[in-house]
Amino acid sequence: MKDSICSLKSKVSSIKGIGPQKAAKLKKMEIVTIEDLLSRFPRDYEDRRCLKKIAELVDGEIALLRCRVDLIVKNNYRYGKQRTLRLLASDGSGTIEVLFFNAAYLESTIIKNGIYCFFGKISKNDGRIQIIHPDMTKWEDNRSTGIMPLYNLTLGISQNDMRKWIRSALDLLSCCSDYLPQDTLSRNCLCDIEYALTNIHFPKDLQRLKEAKYRLIFEELLVLQTGLLIMRSRLTESGNGIGFSEKISIDPFIHSLPYKLTKAQERVLEDIIKDMEALKVMNRLIQGDVGSGKTVLSAAAIYKAIRSGYQAVMMAPTELLAKQHFETMTEGFKAFDFKVGYLTSSISGIARRELLKSLENGEINLLIGTHALIQPTVCFKKLGLVITDEQHRFGVAQRLLLTKKGSNPDILIMTATPIPRTLAIILYGDLDISILNELPPGRKAIITKVMDQRLRTAAYAHLEEEIKKGRQAYIVAPLIEDSDQLESKSATALYDELKEKFQSMRLALLHGELKQQEKDAIMARFHSGEIDALISTVVIEVGINVPNATCMLIENAERFGLAQLHQLRGRVGRAEHQSTCFLITDSKTSLARQRTQIMQETNDGFIIAEKDLDLRGPGEFFGTKQHGIPELKIANLIKHIKILNSVKIEAQMILNLDPNLTREENAGFKEHIAKMFEKVSEFTL
Ligand code: ADP
Ligand code: MG
């Protein structure tokens, strides 16, 4: 038995047909061991269960044939510039002409009178039957028909290579033991691993494929969930949290605000304060659409923590947002004499050392920053409250590490993205959710207009008018590719063009490649109204709050996802002025049209999130990478949410019996968890 486990762990090169070159190519696909190869699941399948006779073929159909090659004609005529290889093949019912283009590599391998399997599209013309560039392999009785897997490939590796190698790998499985505990399999009616792997690659029928899929999805989610639970139990101390005193009232802070809280804000704040006063550790998620006023709620919680003698920390996903929070909080707490610190990776040297010192001796009451806050050198004297803003961009491990800097501090998470409860629990642990479903009074719905390039002048005219009225604007530069550099280039070009066009306007350019100080300086000038219009890349996407900005123009709107468009648009309409958002696009694709249509119809982030899910499919919406959880091969956190419920119960059951997975029967399972998490976190099992 040991031997066969060993061979799953051995290098792919031990499979016949995988030499050093192919092995190198597989390595690029992150396939190193036989086990890696087997866990490369098909992206789709081809139904080759039904063998056709040449005499029965219909024009245009996709068919599987078993034929003898009667004649090989090499390069006998040219099709344009392409060399052709022509075969005549027969199956007793008729003869078919097989054509290949540029297929010199085939010439030497085809044997006259050999029996082959052809799969491809049939064309029939005046009694002449052809199959053009079909998939062709040597006929093998038990391998040529069936449901065939289709894999994602890389250059130099064909479907037939993958199929052949995976079949050889499957042969090694026969006596290997399952790495899921036997009880887990029977409790959840899961098939064993040999059955699952055999049928995910070469299913005998659709029912078996379904069983195989279910087992593998369950397994993957179980590995994920168990890993997260272990990680959480390692990083969160057990025992009581902090019970902040009921005697410390937040009224002085609330009275210092220039506005009255909305009903929704009052309700959510009540939840927060109740949690803080209870001895239980607060773990609360605040979901509120863009502009609903989440920041002030975190400030109230911070006020309570500091007044109770604790420190607080607030983490934001971008430096711009962290800086903005720093400024808002500094201003808001001026009357209370709180000391607010700001830390990002661009703060270094003496400034950094001093800051860390006064954090450790308790002089700093509130520290605001980016993920730089997680570094081990950041130590608090008495951390009582951890807040993360736009949380969905942080990884599970990052958030937990921040929490570990205190002794069971309360946790508040703020997000504008609605998340289904089951998923939220996976991502954040057992948590409570408050929903902020009301915008501050006097806000006018943002008007959204979709325009093609020709109408851009109308959008510009509106922008100029707004600026004449004293308002400000954002112009979001086209998204070119997933590359910061290209984006900054396109923003720069747009900036140069607009500088020519709007000579009397005060414009500025903002992109991710600028130094942090430059970005901060530009944002400060935009905040104070010294800049009329900001030409920017998506760096302004989240959280930025300049209430005087009323006009937004998004170039190449078709390249943005719905959630992103909604976040971008949320930068305007943050005060009583009427705001407008122009989506400039020439795209006529139906996806682009549907998206811009939805943006025109609604300003409701919750509806938009739902539609986004419909249009993009669940995988992309909650991109797992964005959450910092491992990439999944077969499971999908939204689509398989029902399975997730059973998985949660099973994971808990396994850990109740064996909290650290030290038992022999859990060894293989533990190994799988370690492997899944090795890339995304520093945590080791
Ligand atoms: P988000 O929920 O998007 O983080 P912010 O907290 O940045 O929103 O708030 C958006 C704007 O609304 C800020 O300028 C803030 O001062 C203002 N605001 C928040 N609450 C109220 C309120 N109750 N009345 C009026 N303005 C408010
Ligand atoms: Mg915000």
Output b/e per residue, 244-271; b: 16+ Cβ within 10 A: beeebebeebbeeeeeebbebbeebbeb
Does residue 288 line the site of ligand 1, with CB under 6 A? yes
**Nearest CA residue ID for atom 18, ligand 1:** 293
- Compute the distance from residue 324 Cα to the ligand 2 centre, in Å: 10
d(C-alpha 208, C-alpha 215), whole Å:
11
Return the pLDDT at 621: 46
For the CA atoms of 480, 486, 488, 490, what is the dihedral angle to 10 degrees? -60
Domains of the chain: 1-46+158-174 (1.10.150), 50-144 (2.40.50.140), 279-436 (3.40.50.300), 447-602 (3.40.50.300)
Does residue 384 line the site of ligand 1, with CB under 6 A? no
**Nearest CA residue ID for atom 9, ligand 1:** 293
pLDDT at residue 269 greater than cutoff 70: yes
Instruction: Provide DSSP, 584-612.
Output: E-----HHHHHHHHHHHH---HHHHHHHH
pLDDT at residue 116 greater than cutoff 90: yes
Helix (H, G, I), strand (E, B) or coil at 510: strand
Q: What is the pTM of this model?
A: 0.70
Does residue 311 line the site of ligand 1, with CB under 6 A? no
Which of 243-252, 640-649, 658-667 shows the highest mean pLDDT?
A: 243-252
Return the pLDDT at 467: 95
Please check whether residue 201 is in contact with residue 33, taking contact to mean a CB–CB distance below 8 angstroms. Answer: no
Q: Find all residues with CB under 8 Å of 96, minimum gap 6, and list them.
A: 54, 57, 65, 67, 88, 89, 90, 118, 129, 130, 131
Return the pLDDT at 4: 44
State pLDDT tens for residues 320-377: 889 999 999 999 999 999 999 999 988 889 999 999 999 999 999 999 999 899 999 9
- Compute the distance from residue 290 Cα to the ligand 1 centre, in Å: 9
What is the pLDDT averaged over residues 92-109? 83
- Compute the distance from residue 543 Cα to the ligand 2 centre, in Å: 4
What is the pLDDT averaged over residues 298-303? 98
d(C-alpha 219, C-alpha 190), whole Å:
9
Does residue 566 line the site of ligand 1, with CB under 6 A? no
d(C-alpha 553, C-alpha 576), whole Å:
19
Does residue 265 line the site of ligand 1, with CB under 6 A? yes
Give the closest ligand to the alpha carbon of residue 292: 1
pLDDT at residue 2 greater than cutoff 80: no
pLDDT bucket at 485, cuts 50 / 70 / 90: low
Neighbours of 103 (CB within 10 A): 17
**Nearest CA residue ID for atom 1, ligand 1:** 291
Return the pLDDT at 233: 77
- Compute the distance from residue 332 Cα to the ligand 2 centre, in Å: 15
Q: Find all residues with CB under 8 Å of 191, minimum gap 6, and list them.
A: 185, 199, 211, 212, 214, 215
What is the pLDDT averaged over residues 504-529? 90
Give the closest ligand to the alpha carbon of residue 439: 1
- Compute the distance from residue 291 Cα to the ligand 1 centre, in Å: 6
Task: Report residue 295 as tokens.
Answer: 């920041």
What is the pLDDT averaged over residues 19-32? 88
Please check whether residue 248 is in contact with residue 228, taking contact to mean a CB–CB distance below 8 angstroms. Answer: no
β-sheet bridge partners, residue 635: none
Return the pLDDT at 3: 43
d(C-alpha 672, C-alpha 401), whole Å:
23
Handedness of CA 487, 488, 493, 497 (dihedral sign): positive
What is the pLDDT averaged over residues 299-320? 95
Does residue 261 line the site of ligand 1, with CB under 6 A? yes
pLDDT at residue 427 greater than cutoff 90: no
Q: What percent of the chain has pLDDT over 90?
A: 45
Return the pLDDT at 665: 86
Handedness of CA 427, 432, 435, 436 (dihedral sign): negative
Does residue 293 line the site of ligand 1, with CB under 6 A? yes
What is the pLDDT averaged over residues 478-506? 82
- Size of the chain, expressed as the number of residues it contains: 685
Residue found under tokens 């802070």: 253
**Nearest CA residue ID for atom 15, ligand 1:** 293
Task: Report residue 99 as tokens.
Answer: 């054509």
pLDDT bucket at 404, cuts 50 / 70 / 90: confident
State pLDDT tens for residues 376-391: 999 999 999 999 987 6
Give the closest ligand to the alpha carbon of residue 545: 1
Mean pLDDT of the chain: 87
Task: Report residue 679 as tokens.
Answer: 């890339």
Return the pLDDT at 623: 46
Find how far residue 435's CA is from the centre of its chain.
Answer: 23
**Nearest CA residue ID for atom 17, ligand 1:** 293
Does residue 440 line the site of ligand 1, with CB under 6 A? yes
Q: Which residues surround ligand 2, an ion (CB under 5 A)?
A: 543
What is the pLDDT averaged over residues 70-91? 76
β-sheet bridge partners, residue 200: none
**Nearest CA residue ID for atom 20, ligand 1:** 293
Does residue 269 line the site of ligand 1, with CB under 6 A? no
Return the pLDDT at 77: 60
- Compute the distance from residue 478 Cα to the ligand 2 centre, in Å: 24
Pairing status of strand 410-415 against strand 383-389: parallel
Handedness of CA 561, 635, 8, 162 (dihedral sign): negative
Q: Where are the alpha helices (DSSP H) in 602-665?
A: 605-616, 618-621, 624-627, 641-657
- Compute the distance from residue 10 Cα to the ligand 2 centre, in Å: 50
Does residue 254 line the site of ligand 1, with CB under 6 A? no
Query: Ligand 1 pocket test: which of 256, 545, 571, 572 has the largest number of ligand atoms within 8 Å of its C-beta?
Result: 545
Residue 185's Cβ-count burial label (10 Å; 0-12, 13-18, 19+) is middle
**Between residues 177 and 339, the one the model is more confident about:** 339
Residue 44's Cβ-count burial label (10 Å; 0-12, 13-18, 19+) is exposed
Going from the C-alpha of 567 to that of each of 91, 461, 546, 654, the distances in angstroms are: 62, 24, 14, 40
- Compute the distance from residue 391 Cα to the ligand 2 centre, in Å: 10
State pLDDT tens for residues 597-620: 999 999 888 788 778 766 765 445
State pLDDT tens for residues 203-227: 989 999 999 999 999 999 999 889 8
Nearest-atom number in ligand 1 for the CA of 265 is 23
pLDDT at residue 499 greater than cutoff 80: yes
- Compute the distance from residue 494 Cα to the ligand 2 centre, in Å: 28
What is the pLDDT averaged over residues 393-403? 74
d(C-alpha 609, C-alpha 625), whole Å:
18
Largest CA-CA distance found in the chain, in angstroms, rounded = 96
d(C-alpha 366, C-alpha 43), whole Å:
49
Query: Ligand 1 pocket test: which of 254, 255, 295 has the largest number of ligand atoms within 8 Å of its C-beta?
Result: 295
Angle between helices 319-332 and 516-527 (to 10 degrees): 50
Does residue 291 line the site of ligand 1, with CB under 6 A? yes
State pLDDT tens for residues 53-63: 988 888 989 99
Nearest-atom number in ligand 1 for the CA of 297 is 6
Return the pLDDT at 393: 62
Task: Report residue 507 as tokens.
Answer: 């414009």
